[in-house]
Amino acid sequence: MAKISLWIVRLTLGISFFLHGWGKFPYPPERFASWLESIDMIAPMTIATLVAVGEMAAGIGIILGGFIAGQIGNLITRLSALGIFIIMIGAFYLAHPDWFINEKLFKSEQIYIFVLSIFFLINGNKNFK
């Protein structure tokens, strides 16, 4: 049963993060880039594209990492989780600076994406019995 529950968590995180990236397209993600430009971000079109592609790649990586046995699968899972972790730190810092440890943060799905990235960053593909 532990394996099934881990797969539910893995699939939920992977699909969710992939869809966050997918929602920023069509390429280039001009709407996201214009928002980045409004907060004086340098090279908003490049950053918007990298974030969107990074979100999709990390989501796929979290799922794919679970299918690959051994150290390679573990590495893919942890690198994908690190990508999610970094992107979420950026999201909290840039998009939601008013959410720091308050009700808004804990009522959003972002906190769960962030916490699940930490879970997979720490545990990788470890199976719990």
Structural domain range at position 7: 2-123
Asked whether 96 and 110 are in contact (CB, 8 A), the reply is: yes
The whole model's pTM is what?
A: 0.83
Averages of pLDDT over runs of 10 residues in the chain (129 residues) are 86 94 76 68 76 93 93 95 93 72 71 91 81
**Is 128 among the domain residues?**
no
Cβ atoms of 39 and 32 closer than 8 Å: no
Q: What pLDDT, on the 0 to 100 scale, is given for residue 41?
A: 67
Q: pLDDT value at position 93?
A: 79
Sequence-separated (6 or more) residues with CB below 8 Å from residue 81: 58, 62, 117, 118, 119, 120, 121, 124
Q: Is the dihedral of CA 46, 47, 52, 55 positive or negative?
A: positive
Residue with tokens 């709407």: 31
- In a domain, residue 129? The reply is no
Classify residue 60: in a domain, yes or no: yes
- As for how many domains the chain has, the answer is 1
Position 81 in a domain: yes
Structure token digits, residue 69: 């046995």
